[in-house]
Amino acid sequence: MHFWHLVTRFGESTYLLPSALLIALWLCYRRAPGSAVRWLLAIGLAAGLTLASKLAFMGWGVGIESLDFTGFSGHSVMSAATLPVLFYLCTPSSSPRLAHAGTVLGIALALLIGVSRLAVHAHSVSEVLGGLALGLGASLVFLAWPGRAALPRSVVPLAAALAAFTALHTLPVPGLGGATHRWVESVAVYLSGRDRPFHRGEWRAFAADVLPLPAAPA
């Protein structure tokens, strides 16, 4: 498998969403329900905005043509939202320096996944940068929230996330990685009433559907 195709798989929602849920369960298990709720709100807001941006384009052609923006890169959002928190939580609570290093490592991996989306020609620069900004906003706001020092930390969340990734990666389901994209396309088509979703480069088609054509001269 090509290096960038391997890297980009680590940003798939089918792997990272279960990891995000594992983080919430871990926080609840360690008697930090308030932190679990804040985490779910942060990851839910990031995922919701990503979904809304994709539905807006696929269903109605709404985007930013000048920036070639058709929606936030889901891989970039989910990796930037999840990985910094995951690596922070797996560091020893007695070492603030390691906690900082874990956060930086998570950010670096998210950036690498963002670059992979460009390398495999899956997204434009604006979609990747926007996705990274949205995801990092979610993770860093959560980590910067007052009471961060009280967050339970252990290697358990990371081990559980890696186990989930391994299990999902080995499932004999063809096209598991593209299941989320196909689902979003189906929802966009259903909501908009179109027979197919919009695709990149169809800005003019959207304008022709929405804007009335000028009347022909008499």
Domain that holds residue 14: 3-210
In a domain, 186, yes or no: yes
Instruction: Return the sign of the alpha-carbon dihedral for residues 26, 30, 36, 37.
Output: positive
Answer yes or no: are the C-beta atoms of 198 and 205 closer than 8 Å: yes
* Contact between 106 and 143 (Cβ < 8 Å): no
Question: Would 217 be classed as within a structural domain?
Answer: no
Question: What's the total number of domains in the chain?
Answer: 1
Please check whether residue 131 lies inside any domain of the structure. Answer: yes
Domain presence at residue 196? yes
Query: Computed from CA positions of residues 75, 52, 47, 125, in that sequence, does the dihedral angle turn out positive or negative?
Result: positive
Beta bridge mates, 152: none
Q: Is residue 215 situated within a structural domain? A: no
Does residue 218 lie within any of the structural domains?
no
Q: List the pLDDT tens digit at each of the 218 positions of the chain.
A: 589 988 998 898 888 888 899 899 989 988 889 999 999 999 999 999 999 999 999 999 999 999 999 999 999 999 999 999 999 988 888 888 888 999 999 999 999 999 999 999 999 999 999 999 999 999 999 998 876 667 888 777 777 777 766 666 655 444 455 677 888 999 999 999 999 999 888 864 444 444 444 454 54
Task: Please tell me the distance from the alpha carbon of residue 106 to that of residue 193, in angstroms, as a whole number.
Answer: 40
pTM given for the model: 0.86
